[in-house]
Amino acid sequence: MLALRDVRYAWPGGADCLVIERLELQPGRAHFLHGPSGCGKSTLLGLMAGVLLARQGSVALLGQDWAQLPAGRRDARRADHVGVIFQQFNLLPYLSVLDNVLLPTRFSPLRARRCNGGPATAAAALLQRVGLPAALHGRRADALSVGQQQRVAAARALIGQPELVIADEPTSALDAARRDDFMRLLREACTAAGSTLVFVSHDERLAEGFDERLDLPALNRAAVPADAATAA
C-alpha cells in the first residue's frame, strides 16, 4: 500500500537527515510510529503524504511514486487517498461540524463517490460513529470542546474511505481517559473504512492495540536526526 525504498531526505543546505532503506505498510493495518521529539517523525509523515519529496529513492503510495508526479497531480492524489488528523486539528472555525467533515469531498470527487448514500449521509454516519450526536452537527466548530473537535477532525480524515490515514500526535491535548477513548474510536473507524492508519506519538505507552510498532530511531540510518534542524 505504501512502500519506501532507499529513501534519503535532506533539508536545503544540510546533510541527509532521514535515511530509510526499506519500509512497507500493509493495507488496512494500524501502525504505531514512535520516537522522541526531533527524531524525524514529522519529516517522515511529510514524505508519506507527498508533501515532501525524497532527494533519492522512492516513496510510493498505491504503486505511484510521489516524486514522479507534478505538483498539481500530487495535490489531487493526496486529496483522493490520504486523510490527515493534525495535532491542532485545523478545523475551519466558522464552518459547521458537518461542513468541516465534508471538506475532503469538495476537493476529491473520488472520495465523494465513495460515500454510501452521498457525502452528507456518510458524514453524519461518521460523526455518529466517533461519538458526536446529530444535535451537534450544525454547530460551529469553534463552539465545541477540545475532545469534540478532535472527533470532528477524525471524521473529516476518514470520509470517503482514504487508503491512508495519518494521525500526527492527535492526543497530546487530552487527558488519559479521553485519549484512550479517542484512540479506540479511531482504530475502529479505520478498520470499518479499510484504511491503513499511521498513528504518531513520542509516548510508547500508547502502542497497545496497534498491529505494528515502527521505531523511527531504529529505522533511520542517518547520523543527524531529521527534525533537529527544524525543531519539528
pLDDT in tens, 6-54: 999 999 999 999 999 999 999 999 999 999 888 889 999 999 999 999 9
In a domain, 228, yes or no: no
Q: How far apart are CA 158 and CA 84, in angstroms?
A: 8
Q: Tell me the helix, strand and coil percentages in the chain, rounded to 5.
A: 40, 20, 40
| Distance of alpha carbon 220 from alpha carbon 217, whole angstroms | 5
pLDDT, averaged in runs of 10, over the chain (232 residues): 97 93 96 90 95 97 97 98 92 97 98 96 94 96 93 95 94 82 89 94 88 95 60 45
* 170 falls within a domain: yes
* Helices assigned H by DSSP within the chain: 41-48, 71-81, 97-107, 109-113, 119-129, 146-158, 176-193, 216-219
Q: What's the sign of the alpha-carbon dihedral 63, 67, 73, 79?
A: positive
Is there a domain that residue 215 lies in? no
CATH code at position 118: 3.40.50.300
Domain total in the chain? 1
Q: Which residues neighbour 46 within 8 Å (Cβ) at sequence distance 6 or greater?
A: 52
**pLDDT score recorded for residue 227:** 52
What is the pLDDT at residue 225? Answer: 53
Structural domain that includes position 162 = 28-50+70-209
